[in-house]
Chain A
Amino acid sequence: AQKITQTQPGMFVQEKEAVTLDCTYDTSDQSYGLFWYKQPSSGEMIFLIYQGSYDEQNATEGRYSLNFQKARKSANLVISASQLGDSAMYFCAMREGTMRGKLIFGQGTELSVKP
């Protein structure tokens, strides 16, 4: 069964520094997708970045990059130059296969950015 594990319940980072949020996954599928979402206190899930299992290069979106290590089954999110507005919950999620649509989420990491 597919599973997402986020082992850091909470993280602190100083403003303008980089931070890495960990995510490991378990699946028997060869084709899958990995996602990161941000959830501020308002509740909305905001899509950040996507990595396909066959993508050879790590995904990047602005200040967000995904450190994809397929053999280790890890998909860590790196946020560079942290901003106060980055304080939120961050969820890693996986979609198995290419046909199905549902996402399986981890338990999340609460990131706090200090001024």
Chain B
Amino acid sequence: DTGVSQDPRHKITKRGQNVTFRCDPISEHNRLYWYRQTLGQGPEFLTYFQNEAQLEKSRLLSDRFSAERPKGSFSTLEIQRTEQGDSAMYLCASSSWTGKNTEAFFGQGTRLTVV
């Protein structure tokens, strides 16, 4: 296991289509985060999981966005009815929670372009 893995790395989709991204965290990490980063900005928090439980969701996460982590391992982020404003880099990160937070390690991201 070499780090956080995201798939696909790039996705081009037509407006109105649904897309799904996958994130495989570092295997021993029980926390998994999703962030969105637009050009020239820092990443913005979307949601995070501890094991399979979704503990927090940002107001940025509209009804068109849904995230799951069904067995506490990999996670998926789905965007329904994509809009041009959804074009961004979607970053996944994982960390270990053992009563104390450790640093989060990020994947290389999925770059989404909605045309």
Tell me if B74 counts as interface (CB < 8 A to partner A).
no
Min Cβ gap A1→B in Å is 12
Contact across chains for B97 and A43 when beta carbons are under 8 A apart:
no
Residues of chain A at interface, number, CB under 8 A: 25
Residue of B nearest to A35 (CB): B103
Question: Chain A residue with minimal CB distance to B103?
Answer: A47
- B28 an interface residue at 8 Å Cβ cutoff? no
> For chain B residues 1-60, which have a beta carbon within 8 Å of chain A?
31, 33, 35, 40-45, 48, 50, 55-56
CB distance from A81 to the nearest CB of B (A): 23
Q: Does A27 contact B (CB under 8 A)?
A: no
CB-based A-B contact count at 8 angstroms: 61
A100 within 8 A of B: yes
Q: Is the CB of B45 within 8 A of A47?
A: no
Beta-carbon contact of B101 and A95 below 8 Å: yes
Contact of B100 with A by CB under 8 A: yes
- A-B pairs, top 5 by smallest CB distance, nearest first, are A105-B42, A45-B106, A102-B45, A44-B108, A43-B109
Interface residues of A (CB under 8 A from B): 4, 33, 35, 37, 42-47, 50, 91, 93, 95, 98-108
A and B contact pairs by CB, cutoff 8 A, 14 listed = A37-B106, A43-B109, A43-B111, A44-B108, A45-B106, A50-B103, A91-B42, A91-B43, A99-B101, A100-B56, A101-B95, A102-B33, A103-B35, A107-B41
